[in-house]
Amino acid sequence: MEVTLIAITRLEGEVVDDKLGYGWISSVPEGGYPKDTEALIEYAGRLCYQSWEKKNPATQKNADYIAHIISQGHLSVLEHSSASLYVEGVSRSLLAELTRHRHLSFSVISQRYCSPENVPVIPPAIQEDLELTSALLTRYQEMKGWYDSLVFDLTKKGLPRKQAREAARSVLPNMTPVELVVTGNFRAWREVIARRIDPSADAEIQQFAQMALTALSETSPSVFADML
């Protein structure tokens, strides 16, 4: 499994920096300048109360301000920042679980246009068992061979390749690998990660949640550091 950050909210112009003071500050603030995603969250929050003067010492720093927002449960301002992840080497089982989070947006490789990969995604509980892994690999190759045979037979009968794949995919198992791009705002990502990183969650999606958290916390630590 690979999870790669491919897009994230970026500020345009100087309005946010000027309002928050980051554009004209004479020295770099402790901890460095906030990321664009973090500055936007603070800007949206301070706009509600016109608290540009930052009179409360406890929330003058961007990281402290965001931590306060999260602790109070006022998460709507987190929705202004978003990130997109490119996900490879996950199963259709994981995809089915993840798409239950309807506040995320998905683009997934099409089984009507693209043939499945030759190597399946082995469930985490089986990966250390060589005998079971070998058995799953064999079974997947059998199903993949059946799929290829169906595509061949259906196209030979005159069906367009897209319609042939459409029918043949019915025999593919849940361990068939998929690729996808998934986008969510930061409130959505926090909710998804919190639910799916839990030990009671599906083992594969736990791995995904941990990798997503790592990617997001590196680029917006003030928003996700408390979840590490």
Q: What is the pLDDT of residue 127?
A: 96
β-partners of residue 9 are none
| Distance of alpha carbon 108 from alpha carbon 176, whole angstroms | 13
Q: Indicate whether 199 pLDDT > 50.
A: yes
Cβ contacts of 119 within 8 Å, gap of 6 or more: 137, 140, 177
- Give the H or E element holding residue 133: helix 130-156
What's CA 9's distance to the chain center, in Å?
14
- CATH topology for 2-83+181-227 is Gyrase A; domain 2 (3.30.1360)
**Secondary structure letter of residue 27 according to DSSP:** S
Q: What is the pLDDT of residue 28?
A: 53
Is residue 19 very low, low, confident or very high in pLDDT (cuts 50, 70, 90)? confident
* Furthest CA-CA distance within the chain: 75
| Annotated active-site residue in 46, 92, 165, 196 | 196
The question of whether 196 is a catalytic residue gets the answer yes
